[in-house]
Structures are given as C-alpha cells and as structure tokens.
Amino acid sequence: MSTVTHTSDQRRPGATPPAGPAEDRRARAAGGIGGRIFNGFSHLFLVVWAVMVIYPLLWVVMSALKTDSEVIREPLSLIPKSLQWDNFARAWSAGIDSFFLNTLLVLVFSVTLTMLLGSMAAYALARYEFRGNRLIYWMFLSGLTLPIYLAAVPLFKGVYNMNVVFPLLGPNKHLTLILVYVAWSLSFTVFFMHSFFRTLPDSIAEAAMVDGATHTRTFFSVMLPMAKPGLISIGIFNVLGQWNQWYLPTLLMQSVAGEPKHQVIAQGLIELSVNQGYKSDWSGLFAGVTMAMLPVLIVYVVFQRQVQSGLTAGVSK
C-alpha cells in the first residue's frame, strides 16, 4: 500500500504563487516612491499656501512702518528705509481709538449673549426629545442658508421703525447692533454646540439628576463645564466673525453729522480710506489696518490649541 505525500511546493491549479523577496522589495520601493512624490507635492502646496497667506500680512505691517512716498514708489518692498512709528500714533488719534472702544463694547455683550443663548438652545435640542424638536433645529439651520444681503432691506426698515417704539433701538444704536449680531451668529452656534452636546455621556447628567440637581443646575454646573472645548472653539469663531463684520455695521451704524464717532473697527477703516479725499495718508491707513488685524491674530495664536481640540473632541469621542 502506497501513500501519497503533498509537499509545500504542490499547489492548487490556477492559484497565484506568493510573491518572493525580490517582488516584495520592488512593491515596497514603488510604494515608497509614490509616497515620497505625494509628500513632496503636499509640502510644496503647503509652502506656496503659507507664502500666499503670510506675504500680504507682512506687506501690510511693513507698509505701516514706511513713509507715504515709500508706499507709493516701492509698494512691493518689504523693508522700509526707516521705521516710522509715528504712523500708529497718527492713526490712533484719527479715530481708531473710538472704533476700538465701540467694537469691544459690542463684542463683549454680543459674544456673551450668543454663547449663552446658543448653548442653552443647543443643549435642549440635543438632550431632550419633545414635539417639534427637529423642526426647531432645522429652523436654526435654515439661517445658515440665507445670505445676510437678502435681508438687508427688511432688516433696515425693521430697525428704523423699531426706534419709534423702543428709543434704545434703531439706527446708530449699539444695542441694535448687539441684537443683530446675536441673531446672525445663533445659527452656526446652535449647529456646532448641538453636535458637541450629543457626544457627552448621559450617565453624568443622570447622576446629577439623581443627586437632586434641577435641569438648570445640571446644565450650568455639570454639562456646560464639560463642553468647555466646544465653547472655546465656537467663541473664537464668533469673535473673529463679529470683529471682521463690516456689512451689518455699515447698514445699521451710519455716520450722522454732529454726533460722535460710533462706528466699529471694520466700518471705521473703510470710512478713513474714503474720507481721505485728495490727502493721501497711506502709511496711517496701513497702521490702522495693522492695529485692527493684530488682536485677531493674537487671539487665534493664543487659543489655537483649544480651537483644534474643540473641533476634534466630538470626532474622537
């Protein structure tokens, strides 16, 4: 009786033989070359993008340190012949100081109200089920699809007519601009915080309720501190968006003869550039733009890690 032995070299017909060491090395080499080419293109793209972003910022800052003749004759040069620090003092006394104060006054109240009302609405929509929940949520989201320019005429007429009933509201009133900023920023705030609140565990809120905490106490003492990364991220976005907003202030905060300056920073810079007429103070204008730009850059650089952690916290959970 004979036995048939199957060695490791015998394989099924049609089976693909395994790759040998030489083929593995060639595959790894091909993958390594493709990976290096992709990394090279990605790094080149990032370098070009960084130059496109950083060069205009440096150009504005360096132009603020030049004389008017240097700005006109050598506009693309980054190195000034001498540093003209008095440009900043001249721009500050030309009205930038009042623009800064008005902007800070509006932002302190508008961002605070936006974060408070937006987080409360997002928490209720994300954690409680009730009739009309999705309808209200989609109504908030619909605000993201409506350009503010389409609502310019009814918004201006409504604000103008509101001054008859409420003296504190109406054109050229800071309270009006604060309320409009809050309404304009609520849609994205609710959308962002709604997704963040849904990632928080239910067990902690249930434990707080078992210990006797009310819904309000649970929100302010337990859930809101847990949502700190998301609050910081959306807070930075609201600060940047409202600081750089120029259309709404131009629409609602029109200059009135005989009244003190009440414009915000973005609108004020445009007014300075338009009201120059035949006198060209370009170095002072660049100095004003630099002073308006630096607070935004400082805020983003300081809170960069918090913004990134807040944006990725919901995904990592």
What's the confidence (pLDDT) of residue 208?
86
Q: Which H helix or E strand runs over 71?
A: helix 68-73
The mean-pLDDT minimum among 52-61, 90-99, 182-191, 283-292 falls in: 90-99
Q: Among all chains, which residue has been given the structure tokens 């990592």? A: 316
Neighbours of 78 (CB within 10 A): 12
Tell me: pLDDT of 205 over 80.
yes
Pick the CATH number of 95-316 from 3.40.50.10540, 1.10.3720.10, 3.90.25.10, 1.20.58.340: 1.10.3720.10
Higher pLDDT among residues 45 and 159, named by residue: 45
Neighbours of 181 (CB within 10 A): 23
Give CA–CA dist 267/269, Å, rounded. 6
What's the confidence (pLDDT) of residue 136?
92
Tell me: pLDDT of 10 over 70.
no
Contact 233, 191 (CB under 8 A): no
| Percentage of the chain lying above the pLDDT 70 cut | 78
Contact 95, 272 (CB under 8 A): yes
What's the confidence (pLDDT) of residue 283?
83
What's the confidence (pLDDT) of residue 29?
52
Tell me: pLDDT of 196 over 80.
yes
Contacts with 24 (C-beta within 8 Å, 6 or more apart), sequence order: none
What's the confidence (pLDDT) of residue 285?
83
pLDDT digits (tens, 9 = 90+) for 227-284: 888 888 888 889 988 888 888 888 887 654 444 467 788 777 776 666 555 567 788 8
* In the chain, where the domains are located: 95-316
At 22, the pLDDT band (50, 70, 90 cuts) reads: low
pTM of the model: 0.76
Contact 61, 47 (CB under 8 A): no
Handedness of CA 175, 142, 244, 302 (dihedral sign): positive
